[in-house]
Structure 1
C-alpha cells in the first residue's frame, strides 16, 4: 500500500481534489451564519491544523472564498472575513427585490410549460405550513428560500437564478433572525399564498405588489438583525 506523503512540517499531505471544496463549504456556511465577526483573520496555519490538510487545498479554498466575496486578501497578512455592512445588506435587498419582481411579473404574463403543477405544489405546501407554522426559524428560513428559488427556477432564466441564489446565501442568517419574530412565519405563509394566487390569476401587478410586501417585511428588520448577528459573532469568539 503506498504511503501518504508528508509536507515539510510533518503533517500528512492529502491529495483529494475534493478537499478544497470541503473547506470552502464549511467556511462559507460559518461566515454566512456569522460565526466570525467582521475582519476576523483566517490564517493558513490555523486552517491546515483544523482541517488536517496541507497548505495547497487551504490556499485554493481561500482564493475561491475571496473570489466569491466571503473573505478579502490582506497585504502579506493572509485573509480576513468580509461581513456585509447595513448599507451593503440593504443593497442586496434592493437587487433581490428587482429580480423577484421581474420573476413574478414574467410568470404571470408568460407562464412557462409546467408552471401550473409547480404552483399547485407550492400552494399545498404553504397551506399546510400555515396550519402549523411553528417550525424553528432556521428551518423556516430554508423553506422560505426554497419558495423563492422554485419560482425563479420555474422562470428558466439561469443567470437570474444564479444571482438570486448568491444573494439569498448571504442573507441566510438575517432571514433566520427575521423568522424569530412573533407571527412572522404565519404572516409569510399568507404572503406566499397571495403571491401564488396573483400569479395563477395572471395578475402581474398584483403579483408584484404581493412580492414586494413579502420582501420589504423582512428588510424592515435589518438593523436589529445585524446587531443580533454581530452579538452572536463576537460571543462565539469569546
Structure 2
C-alpha cells in the first residue's frame, strides 16, 4: 500500500519567526477556541502575563490584535473581556470562503491552472477510505477538515487566493471546531469531502 503525505505536510512551508507577542496571541486565541476562555470571562494583562510567563508588553500587543478581530474588548480600568461570538461576521467569512473554494474547484475541474496532483492524492488518502477506517477523533478530523479546504484551494495554483483563504480559515477556526462534536457530523464530513474529490 502506497503511503501518501498528509496535505498539511505538503502545503508550501512558510518559515515564520514568531515574536513573544505572536506566541501570546496564538496561546490566547487557542484558549478561546478550546473554550478555556469563554465569552464573558474577564482578566487583566497581569493575569495573562503571569500565566504565559511573558512581560505585559507582548500580552498587550496580542490582546489588541484579538480586539481587532472581535474576540475580546478592553474594559475601562478593569481589564479585558472575551466577547460573545459575532455570528453575522462568521456568516460573511463563510460566504467569502465559499467564493474562494468554488473558484478553486472550477479551476481544478477545467484545468485552467497547473493542478497540484500530489495535494489531491494526499486528500484522497484521508477522505476516500472505507467507513471502518474513518477517524472518530474530533480534534484530528477538525484538523484534517481544515487541511482539506486549504489544500483544495492551494492545489488550484493561485498563491494569492490560497493566502486569503488561509486568513479566512484562521478567523473561522473557532466556530468550525464546534462542527465536530458529534459523530454524525464527522460522518457527513467524510461523505461530503469524498464526493468533492470524486467529482
1:42/1:78 contact within 8 Å kept: yes
Tell me how large the CA RMSD over aligned residues is. 2.6
SS at match of 2:128: helix
1:32/1:171 contact within 8 Å kept: no
Q: Give the Cα separation in 1 of the matches to 2:95 and 2:33.
A: 19
Alignment of 1:61 onto 2:47: no
Q: Give the Cα separation in 2 of the matches to 1:175 and 1:130.
A: 23
Alignment of 1:100 onto 2:101: yes
Alignment of 1:138 onto 2:113: no
How many residue pairs get matched? Answer: 182
Q: CA deviation at 1:23?
A: 1.1
Alignment partner, residue 124 of structure 1: 125
Alignment partner, residue 235 of structure 1: none
Moved over 6 A (4+): none
Q: Give the Cα separation in 2 of the matches to 1:59 and 1:129.
A: 48
Alignment of 1:47 onto 2:44: no
Q: Give the Cα separation in 1 of the matches to 2:192 and 2:122.
A: 16
| Distance verdict in 2 for CA 1:132–1:174, change over 3 Å | farther
2:44/2:79 contact within 8 Å kept: yes
Q: CA deviation at 1:129?
A: 6.6
SS at match of 2:119: helix
Task: Normalising by structure 1, report the TM-score.
Answer: 0.65
SS at match of 2:81: strand
Provide, for residues 161-191 of structure 1, a one-character-per-residue CA deviation record: whole Å limited to 9, x for no partner.
2332233334334433322334332332222
Q: Give the Cα separation in 1 of the matches to 2:53 and 2:118.
A: 47
Alignment partner, residue 172 of structure 1: 173
Alignment partner, residue 3 of structure 2: none
Q: Give the Cα separation in 1 of the matches to 2:67 and 2:126.
A: 37
Task: Normalising by structure 2, report the TM-score.
Answer: 0.76
1:141/1:176 contact within 8 Å kept: yes
Alignment partner, residue 8 of structure 2: none
Q: CA deviation at 1:143?
A: 0.5
Alignment partner, residue 12 of structure 2: none
Q: CA deviation at 1:106?
A: 2.0
Q: CA deviation at 1:54?
A: 2.2
Larger Rg: 1
Structure 1, unmatched stretches of 5+, are: 1-16, 199-238
Provide, for residues 72-122 of structure 1, a one-character-per-residue CA deviation record: whole Å limited to 9, x for no partner.
344454433234233333333222222221221122123533423322232
2:108/2:115 contact within 8 Å kept: no
